[in-house]
Each structure stands twice: as structure tokens, then as C-alpha cells.
Amino acid sequence: MKRTVVEVDWLLFPEDAKAVEKRLLAHPGIYRADVNPVDGLAVVEYDETRVTIEDIIHIVALCGYHCRGVVVPRHLTKAEGEKGDLHHITDGGRAEETPAEDSQGPVPINPEGQASIPDKAINEERGVHGDDSAPAHAVPGKERPEGIPKEHEEHGGMSGDIEIMAQDMLRRLLVSIPLTILILPYSVLVQELTGISPPVPFGLSADVFSFLLATPVVFYGGWMFFIDAVRALRNRILNLSVLVTISVLAAYIFSVGATFFFTAETFYEAATVLMVFILGGHWLDLRARGNASAAIRTLLELAPPMATVVRNGQPVEVLTSEVKVGDTVLIRPGDKVPVDGVVIEGESAINESMITGESLPLSKGPGDEVIGATINQVGSFTFRATKVGADTALAQIIQLVAAAQASKPPSQVLADRAAQWLTLTAIVLGPLTFAIWFFFAGQSIVFAFTLAVTVIVIACPDALGLATPMAVQVATSMAASRGILFKSATALEDASRLQAVIMDKTGTLTKGEPEVTEVMPAVGITEDELVAIAAAVERGSEHPIAKAIMQRAERLSLPSVSGFAAVPGQGAEAQVNGSAILVGNLLLMETRDVVMDGMKEKAQELASEGRTVVYVAKDGEIAGLIAVADAPRPTSQEAIRRLKERGVETIMLTGDNWATARRVAADLGIEKIFAEVLPAQKVDKVKEVQKEGKLVAMVGDGINDAPALVQSDVGIAIGAGTDVALESADVVLMRSDPLDVARVITISSATRRKMIQNLWYAAGYNIIAFPIAGGVFFPLIGLLLRPEIAAFTMSGSSVLVTINALLLGRTPVK
């Protein structure tokens, strides 16, 4: 089973995504297909022995849409293809497939076999020049999907697809508005309201003049909707385009008949005003959707286009896509790191906030890992490339974020069904409304027809379709900018309902390495003196406890040492400033008959609290005690406090003894503990809490805790660093910060509130709008709704849902 994220262009409405999903799922070997209607990213899970990327692209094309291939970061274009090695060239962040043997560098090929023009910057870098007015290497007879503008195909993409649709919508709107304004003075409704009948130019009748003005508005302004409606019906989907097509063409065709074939009032002004409001509302909607997808587009653009590689002893500037595993890469101050790797030589500080969310620059030296797309602050260094192309941390992050945004939370499944039934209901109720008012209520054909068109227009499923995807889009992007990666919308929604969080102690709540926690000197000696002589003896040792003492003494001046000798199993001895120094355990002290002077009881007290005690003796007398323990992370206590404030029980799980567990739990304020737990027993502890009827999250390192992460309702892998492709976790935390667990719940809770609000806004709009549109209140209070006003409110509901979701980005996440 393989999962990939591809890009689908020209999705006008949320229901269009459903059409692509249905067609993909109908293909043998494809087991999952989730398409995000906001930015057109599709997550496809398939059997790679039966399905290829080319098959997926072809299936999307059969739907009448356009798929440009796998989504990988811009400039990181070399990846392992489905059929041998393929180059993936990105056009606005999308991946394109071309034969690797192209002598001039890869040329992107679209699903119909027609080559697209590569990004201008990449052409110039490769020395490729050509006529931008037409695609290179065009294959005769192969054309782009109908209804997709030429400029969209050539220059669109994840970075511009929505913007180009919005620009196209705006052009049609700007043409339609002045023509509609010219029509209005000749409509019967406006003349009745103003009492003014303006003269008709060119000696034409008012109806013929309106016909000439309305025709370009209807067919130029509405052409994209008509084409999309045909696609939707072919894919057995009902969307807003179907409603627009029915209502606008019904009003236009009836008016044409009244103009040339029979006598009746015309609806040219209704058709054109309706089209203007639909174009204007959807243009605003597309602009808002573009803002929502800005975060992932930023991720796509993070990788630098060029890298400096050392070859034959000389630095050479090459395309980032040409960096190979094992290459030595040179980084200067201010450079972006092009790919992932390990520092070979030099030291610097690197800003990794764009990847991990860590605000402070991190020091890097030989042996340290560097992440592609991060920014070098000061100093120069060289590193060995270990991951390139689609294997880099940036590429994995983009895949995870895109997959989460395209996945559907449980609430969206119900909303999708409701949207389809709503559209079908409108199509049925439109003619029924006409029949009731014309045949049974005895109203005029104009009155009945107006209400019928209004009913069809008012039933916009767009808001329902966008209610949760917009919230998911904003939330996952907001979380990713903080180093929090949700792998599915279900995890995003479920995290808000958590009742218990089980946290692994070592490496999660604690640092996972010993640290000096207490220094207890004897009378006549200071803490610094005690630590200095102990560190002088331990200098050079690789033992974790010795490293902890050395770290505590890093700012101290250490005395010289002579006569050093290790005492196996007990410690070490040496001469320090003429004094005999012993550093070790109680056995060493007892063997050398050290005078303890009451320190033994204090040491036992420290040991009972789970600390490891190091004894230091000077000239046969105890000089003091140094307590070493796995210290809590600085933010662990605050994380526990925030979880408690939310009513979430925190449980610590550890393989350590009960004394150590109680000490750490007491320091952090944790009341429930699972101690002395073997790795295989962690799953049982998760099940034990779940049997209490609680929704449980397990927080661990994603490797040793993998079975428990899978068993939990929400598995959270903490401190993942560059290893973000952790299959066992539902949420990946790039930083080793327990506070991010509380932040996960904060983001999830805020997102769920927005989902519920949006669903109520969308459902409430239709509950109120349907009876008004059908004229239910006309006999009682004379309330009627014109098609133009219906179009305005319909678009307004979608924009309201979109803006409400965008406000999620203002949620304080501390």
C-alpha cells in the first residue's frame, strides 16, 4: 500500500472534489481518495503493483479536471518515480513527470500528453529559452480539459491555481457588470419602481436590446459554470454549477422565447444580475480560499533553488534538484540549507523555526544534523547530504500537512451527504414551486417562474461543503507553523475530546539524560568547590553520570589532576592540589573507610526519591554529595498544569522504579503513575485507561512506544525532529516540548468549535432561506425574495463560512 499526494486543478466548488473521489475509488487498486476542495490536493492510497501515478492522473482527466502529478517542494524536483527514475519539475509547487534522459533538462508533461512550459526561473537556470506563447513539444490532438484557461494550464499550480481562477472570475465579472447596468433601466421591475422609461438606442425594442446585452453576460460570464455543470452531471454529482446553469439558462431561455416567439415579461435583468452576484460572491470566496492555502504554499516555496556543492575540491553552484546523497555542501552566512544532512566541518547557528517552530537559533557543529530549507545565521560550514528530493524533512512535512488537509473528519461526511440532498431537493422543489403558484394558487407565470428560480438559486450547498475543510485547512497550516503536524482531520477533531493523556517519562516529560539536581557539600566547602574537584576527577570519562557532573561544572575553573586511577564498579581516585580525592558510590567510600559524618543518611534520603548519589571524599573524609537524576524538561510542569485546567487527566508511564517515578511525578504535579512497566506492557496500560470509558492519547517518542501509540485514540509522537514519517502516530510534534501536547488540544478545540459554528451557519441559512424563497410567507406578510437577492445571500453564506474559518488563525496558542 502506498500513499501519495497529487494536485487536482480547477475545482470550482466543494462538490467537484467529490466527483474526483468517486472516480478514483471506482478504480481497482485504489483504496482511499480524499480531495481537499480548498486547495485541490488529493491524498490517494493505492496498491502500487496495480496502480501508477500515470493511472491516477488519467483518472482525474476522465473526470474533466487536470492533475499535474505528485506534490513535492519547489526546486526539490528529483524524486523516485513510479516507472523508473523520473524527474519531477515543479510549476508553482507541483510535480511534473518527464523522461530523465531529456538532454535539456526535464520538461513538464501534462496528463493529456502536452508539454507545459516550465517555470521561467528554472528555464533560465538550465539555459532553456523558448516562446512562452505556446507549450513546447506539443502533441497534436491533445488538448487541455475544456473550460480551463490556457494561462491556468501553463502557469497555474499549487502556488497560483486559486489565484488564477479568481483572476478569471474577476475578468468575467468586470465584463458582466457594465452590461448588466445597461440592461437594468429597460427591465419592467426598474421602470415600475422609478417611473422612468428611457429611449432604446439604434431603433431597437427594449427586449431585443436587452437580449444583445444579456447574451455575453450569460455565456461569457457563466461559461465556466456551464462547463463545470456538464462535468458534474457526467460524474453523477450535483453542485452549485448545476443550480446556476438551471436558474440562469431558464431565465435567459424564457426571456429569448418571450422576445422572439411569444408575448410575456422577460427576465434578462434577473439572469444578468444573478450572474453578477454569483461571479462576485464566488470571486470573494476564491480569494478567501487562497488565503487559507497560503501556509502550505509557503512550505512549497521554502527550499532554495540553488546549492553550493564541493566537487573536485572546488565549490560549484548547482540546482538543488541535482544535489545527490553523499555530496559535500558548503553553507555561508545567510544561506538557506538546500537539503538534509550532517555537519562535517565548521560551526554555526541555524534558524529552524520554519520547520520545527523552534524560535531560537540552534548551534550546529560536526556530527549535528541540519534540515533543508532552514536558514544559516552566522559562520560557515560544510555538511554531507543524507536526504534529498522527496526524502527531505520538508517534503515529508508537506506530504503530512497536505494529507491532513485533504482528509475528512466524521462531521464532514454527514455534511457532504446533506449537500447532495440539498441540491437535489432544490432541483425538485423549483418546478414544484412553479406548479403550486401557477396552477393551484392562480398567480401569473412571471410570479411563479420568479419563485421557482429563487428556490433553485437559494439552495447553495457550497457553505456546507466548505464548513469543515476550511477549518481543517487553517488549523493544520497554523499547527504546522508551530512544528505540530496532524496526520488526519479525524485526529484533529478527536484531540479536542481527550479525557486522559498518558505520557512516557523518559524523553517526553524528562530530558532522557542525567543531570545534576542537587549538590550537598560538607561543612567547610562550597558547592562550586565540591563540583570542581569531582569534575576534575571525572574529566575525560564517557559515563553519563560523569558527563552530567562535567556539564554542571562547565563554567568553573577545574584544578589539575595527577595519579588518576579508575576503581572498577566503584568510581575513581586521583590527586587534586595535593589532596587524595575519591569520587564514586557508597561501596568505594566504605572500602576506603571514609568518615561519613552523617552524610550516609542524607544520601539514603536522596536515593529514596529516585536520585543517583555520587559521593566525593577528600583525604579520607566526606566532602559532599552530588545527586544526579533524569531532570524534567523546563516546560513539563506548565504542560501538566494546562492539561489539568482543561480537565484532562495526565498519567505518567515509565519503566523506572517507583521511587524515581514518584519523585518526577511530585515535581510535575502528576497524581497517577504507571511505573516499572516493560515496553510490551505499555499497550495494556493504554487499554486499562480506555476501559474506564475515557478517550486516551498516548505521548511517546514514536519508536519504542509505537504499539501504545497505535492502541490509543490519539497517538502523539514527541521530539520527532526530522523523522516526521512516523506511521504509528496521529500527531507528530517536531520539538521535544511537552507544552505542544497542550497546544494540540488547544488547536483541536478551537477547530472543532469553528466546524460546529460553520455547520450551523450553513444549515441555518438553508433552513431559513428555503421557505422564504418558496413564498411561504407571502400570503401572511407579503415577503418575497428575488433571484438576485437569493444569489447575493447564497454567496454571502459561503463567504461567511470561509471568513469564520480564517478567524481560527487568530486563536492564541501559547
Catalytic residues: 504
Angle at 802 between CA 799 and CA 803, to 5 degrees: 85
Copy the grid coordinates of residue 320.
538543488
Nearest to 225 by CA among 803, 790, 765, 795: 795
CA distances from 506 to 356, 513, 616, 637, 654 (A): 21, 8, 27, 15, 7
CA 672 to chain centre: 34
Nearest to 473 by CA among 495, 492, 496: 492
Copy the grid coordinates of residue 614.
555520587
The answer for residues whose C-beta is within 8 angstroms of residue 595's C-beta and 6 or more apart is 620, 621, 622
Q: Say if residues 203 and 209 touch (Cβ distance below 8 Å).
A: no
Q: In what order do the strands lie in the sheet with 97-99?
A: 78-80, 85-88, 97-99
Residue with cell 573524609: 621
Buried b / exposed e along 92-115 (16+ C-beta atoms within 10 A): bbbbbbbeeeeeebbbbbbbbebb
Angle of helix 223-234 versus helix 240-260 axis, rounded to 10? 120
- DSSP letter for each residue of 153-191: HHH-STTTHHHHHHHHHHHHHHHHHHHHHHHGGGSHHHH
Copy the grid coordinates of residue 46.
493505492
Contacts of 118-125 with CB under 8 Å at 24 or more apart are: 118/89, 118/91, 119/89, 119/90, 119/91, 119/92, 121/305, 122/75, 122/89, 122/305, 122/319, 125/305, 125/306, 125/319
Number of Cβ atoms within 10 Å of the Cβ of 739? 21
Helix (H) or strand (E) holding 472: helix 462-480
SS3 content of the chain, % helix, strand, coil (to 5): 50, 20, 30
Rounded Cα distance, 82 and 774, in Å: 54
Give the SS3 label for residue 86. Answer: strand
Of the CA atoms within 13 Å of residue 268, those in its CB half-sphere come to 31
Angle at 233 between CA 232 and CA 238, to 5 degrees: 65
CA 398 to chain centre: 7
Radius of gyration of the CA atoms of the chain, in A: 34
Nearest to 793 by CA among 807, 773, 776: 773
Give the SS3 label for residue 418. Answer: helix
Indicate the residue type of 690.
Q
Residue 505: phi, psi to the nearest 5?
-70, -60
Strand pairing report for 714-718 and 731-733: parallel
Q: Say if residues 364 and 374 touch (Cβ distance below 8 Å).
A: no
The answer for residues whose C-beta is within 8 angstroms of residue 805's C-beta and 6 or more apart is 292, 466, 470, 471, 473, 474, 754, 758
Angle at 751 between CA 745 and CA 755, to 5 degrees: 140
Residue with cell 481518495: 33
CA distances from 128 to 93, 106, 121, 774 (A): 19, 10, 10, 61
Of the CA atoms within 13 Å of residue 235, those in its CB half-sphere come to 30
Q: Say if residues 461 and 240 touch (Cβ distance below 8 Å).
A: yes
The answer for residues whose C-beta is within 8 angstroms of residue 84's C-beta and 6 or more apart is 100
Rounded Cα distance, 621 and 636, in Å: 39
